[in-house]
Amino acid sequence: MSNTDQSKIRNFCIVAHIDHGKSTLADRIIEMTGLLTSREMQSQVLDNMDLERERGITIKAQTVRTVYKAKDGNEYIFNLIDTPGHVDFNYEVSRSLAACDGAILVVDAAQGIEAQTLANVYLALDHDLEVFPVINKIDLPSAEPDRVKAEIEDVIGIEAMDAPLISAKNGIGIEDVLESVVAKIPAPKGDPNAPLKALIFDSLYDAYKGVIVFCRLFDGSVKRGTQIRMMATGAVADVVEVGYFGAGQFIVCDELSAGMVGYITASIKNVRDTSVGDTVTDNNNPCKEALPGYKKVLSMVYCGMYPADGAKYPDLRDALEKLQLNDASLTYEPETSVALGFGFRCGFLGLLHLEIICERLEREYNLDLVTTAPGVIYHVYKTDGEMIELTNPSNLPDPSQIDHMEEPIVSAEIMVTTEFIGPIMELCQQRRGKYLGMEYMETSRALLKYELPLNEIIYDFFDALKSKSRGYASFDYELKGYEKSDLVKLDILINKEEIDALSFIVHKEGAYERGRKMCEKLKTEIPRHLFEIPIQACVGGKVIARETIKALRKDVLAKCYGGDITRKKKLLEKQKEGKKRMRQFGNVEIPQNAFLSVLKLEED
C-alpha cells in the first residue's frame, strides 16, 4: 500500500439538488466497481443511519473507497465522498469538498437546474474543484437532456455537451461516468516524502475504537505508531490503526500516504481534542503550516433542549459532546429554564438539522427530550447603548430598557416554474419578504430573489413553498445581515401560567396569527385533564388569542373479563407511561411532543 501511485487515485464527490439521484448514483458506482454484488447491495448503501434511509435523504457526509479497472487497463482507486443535498447541510458539503479533487454534478434530466444545484456547484467551484456534469433520469418520459445540457452551459457556464446521459436507478450509462471520473477528475498531487499534512473532514465516536478521525492526506504518510499532533488543539497521540472505508465498514491497512483518504484511530482520550477542519501532522516532523481548514460555521437557529428526566442532564451533555464530534455544525451551551430545569441552548444550521439532531439524540442515545420553540439570534439594543445577542426569548430585557431590536435577514433565491410565480410571491409577501428581482432562466422558469427575515423561514417556509408550487420550487439562502424590526415577545400561558419554554419572538404584525395557531395546536396536543385548561397567547400582558381544553369527563375501563388482570394492568401502565413523557407545569401535564409540534403550524 505504501507505494500507492497517486496518479491512480481519484478523490471526488457527487453534488446535486435534493432528489436528483445523487445517492442512487453513488450506489451504482459502488456496485459497478465490484466491491459489492447486486445481492449485497442494500439500497442506498451510503446512507447508513436508519434515519437517513427512512427519510431518503443524506445527512452525514459518507466516504467509501472502491477499485475501478478502467478501459485503459489500469486500476484506479476511487474515494467517493457522499454529500448531503439539503440547504441546511451546506456546511457538511463544504467539509466533504475540501477533501476532494473533483466533483460530479448530477442534474435531473426533467427538472434541470434547481436552487441547490447552483448553491452546491458554486461551493465546489469555490474549492477549486474540477466539476463535470452528468444528466440523470434520462429514461423518464419527461426527460429533456438537450435542454438541460444547454441550461447547464448557459446558467453555470461549464462544459456539458459531452455529459454522460444516465439512469442511476436503472444502471444506464454508469460506465461513462466511471470513465469520466478517470479522465476528468485530476489525480492528487501531494508530496509523499514531505512532513505529514492531513485534513480532518469528519470524525465519529465508536464505543470500541474510541475517536475515529476521517482525513484526507495532502502530504506525507501515516501508519501505526506514528506520533501525531492536531495542529489547532495541540493534542498529541500515538496512532493505533489506519485504514480506509469499505462500503459500510472500516478496512485496516498498513499506511496512508499523500493523496489518500482514510481514517486514523489513536490514543485520543478526549473527543474535544479532534476538531473537524484541523490539520493532523507528525509530532516528530511537523509540517510548517496548517491547512486553511473550514470557515467556522454559523448557527442560524437556536432552541433549548432539556432532558425529559432531569437526572439525565449529564447523559445529554455527554451525547451532545459525542454528536458534535460527528457534526461540527452543532453548537451548545448550558442554560436553565424555570419550567424545564437544566438543559442546553443549542445552535443549528436550520430546522431540519434541529429535527435530525433531536431524533439522533433520542434514537442513538436513548434520551427523551423536551425542545423549546426555535428562534434566531436577535440583536437587542438597550437604552444604555449595550447590545445583547439574544438566543433565548426568556432573556429579553424589560421593554422599558429596549431601544430597538434587529433581526437577521437572508438573501433567498427561489427557482420556480413560471406558473407558480404568483403563489410564491404571495407567500414571500406574507413572510415579510422584500422583492429584489426576478431572472428568467428560460421561458418556463424563473429565479426569484428576495430578502426574507430568517425567523420567517425557519419554521415551515420550506413546506409551504413545496405545497404552493406542487413540489416544483427550490430554495436556497444565505445570511445577509441584520435589520431593524418591530418585534415583540409572544408568551403562552397554560392554565394561567406562563410557560417560558414556549415563549418566542415574533414580528408585531404576525403575532396574532401565530398566537392563534399555537393555541389551536396546543389544544390538540395537550390531553384533557380533570379540569378545564385555558390556553392563552399574550403580548405584553395582553391576551391576543385563547383556546380552552375541556375537562376530562369519562375514562372508565369496560368489563374486566375472566380475571385477565394482566391485561388491565398493561392498559394502566400504558396510560402511566404516557404521563411520564409529559412535563408537569403547575397542575398541567404537557406532552413533550407539544413543544415541537407548535413549530409546525399548518398553512390555512
Partner 1 sequence: MLRYRRTLFCRCSNLKKISLYIHIPFCERKCLYCDFLSFSAPDEVRREYVSVLIRQIKSAASQYKDRRVISVFFGGGTPSVLPGTLICDIMDNIRNEFDVDKSAEISIEVNPGTAYDLDSYISAGINRLSIGLQSSVESELKKLGRIHNVRDFETLYEQALLKGFNNINVDLMSGIPGQTLSSYEGSLRYLVDDPFRPKPSHISAYSLSVEEGTPFSRMKLDLPDEDTEREMYKITSDILSEKGYTHYEISNYSLAGSECEHNKVYWRRGDYLGLGLGASSMVDNVRWKNTGSIEDYIKKDDFAPKQVGHLTIKDQMEEFMFLGLRMKEGVSIAGFREYFGVPFPPEYDQVIDKYVSLGLLKKDKMCVMLTQDGISVSNLIMSEFIF
> Minimum Å distance from CB 427 to partner 1?
36
Question: Toward partner 1, which CB reaches closer, 309 or 483?
Answer: 309
> Minimum Å distance from CB 587 to partner 1?
9
Among 448, 449, 457, 450, CA closest to 407: 457
> Minimum Å distance from CB 120 to partner 1?
47
Question: Toward partner 1, which CB reaches closer, 309 or 403?
Answer: 309
Q: Over the range 482-515, which residues count as b (16 or more CB within 10 Å of their CB) and which as e?
A: eeebebbbbbbbbbeebbbbbbbbbbeebbeebb
Distance (Å, rounded) from C-alpha 131 to C-alpha 125? 7
Question: Toward partner 1, which CB reaches closer, 383 or 575?
Answer: 575
CA dihedral 131, 133, 136, 139 (to 10 degrees): -160
Q: Are strands 9-16 and 75-82 parallel, antiparallel or unpaired?
A: parallel
> Minimum Å distance from CB 340 to partner 1?
22
If you write DSSP's letter for every residue of 19-83 in order, what string do you get? TSSHHHHHHHHHHHTTSS-TTTPPSSSS--SHHHHHHT---S-EEEEEEEE-TTS-EEEEEEEE-
> In this structure, what C-alpha cell is assigned to residue 482?
441584520
> Minimum Å distance from CB 548 to partner 1?
15
> Minimum Å distance from CB 556 to partner 1?
5
Distance (Å, rounded) from C-alpha 377 to C-alpha 122? 27
> How many angstroms separate the Cα of 340 from the Cα of each of 225, 370, 489, 554?
48, 8, 19, 30
Question: Toward partner 1, which CB reaches closer, 295 or 576?
Answer: 576
Question: Toward partner 1, which CB reaches closer, 207 or 557?
Answer: 557
> Minimum Å distance from CB 551 to partner 1?
9
> Minimum Å distance from CB 450 to partner 1?
46
Question: Toward partner 1, which CB reaches closer, 336 or 587?
Answer: 587
> Minimum Å distance from CB 81 to partner 1?
47
Q: Which residues contact 181 (CB under 8 A, 6 or more apart)?
A: 10, 12, 68, 76, 78, 102, 104
> Minimum Å distance from CB 366 to partner 1?
21
Distance (Å, rounded) from C-alpha 45 to C-alpha 37? 12
Q: Which residues contact 148 (CB under 8 A, 6 or more apart)?
A: 107, 108, 109, 112, 113, 135
> Minimum Å distance from CB 572 to partner 1?
4
Question: Toward partner 1, which CB reaches closer, 399 or 563?
Answer: 563
> Minimum Å distance from CB 531 to partner 1?
8
Question: Toward partner 1, which CB reaches closer, 484 or 567?
Answer: 567
Question: Toward partner 1, which CB reaches closer, 207 or 556?
Answer: 556
The DSSP 8-state label assigned to residue 211 in this structure reads E
Q: Which amino acid is at 392?
A: N
Q: Which residues sit opposite 112 in a β-bridge?
A: 108
Look at the alpha carbons of 512, 513, 515, 516 in this order and tell me if their dihedral is positive or negative. positive
Residue 109 near residue 138 (C-beta atoms within 8 A): yes
Question: Toward partner 1, which CB reaches closer, 460 or 525?
Answer: 525
CA dihedral 272, 273, 277, 283 (to 10 degrees): 180
Distance (Å, rounded) from C-alpha 64 to C-alpha 448? 37
Q: Which amino acid is at 309?
A: D
Q: Which residue has the cell 435542454?
A: 147
Q: Which amino acid is at 281?
A: T
Among 96, 95, 94, CA closest to 82: 96
Question: Toward partner 1, which CB reaches closer, 385 or 562?
Answer: 562
Q: Which residues form the interface with partner 1 (CB under 8 A)?
A: 530, 552-566, 568-569, 571-573, 575-576, 579
Look at the alpha carbons of 580, 548, 488, 464 in this order and tell me if their dihedral is positive or negative. positive
> Minimum Å distance from CB 566 to partner 1?
6
> Minimum Å distance from CB 591 to partner 1?
15
Q: Which residues sit opposite 92 in a β-bridge?
A: none
Residue 224 near residue 239 (C-beta atoms within 8 A): yes
Question: Toward partner 1, which CB reaches closer, 208 or 561?
Answer: 561
Distance (Å, rounded) from C-alpha 254 to C-alpha 579? 55
Question: Toward partner 1, which CB reaches closer, 524 or 575?
Answer: 575
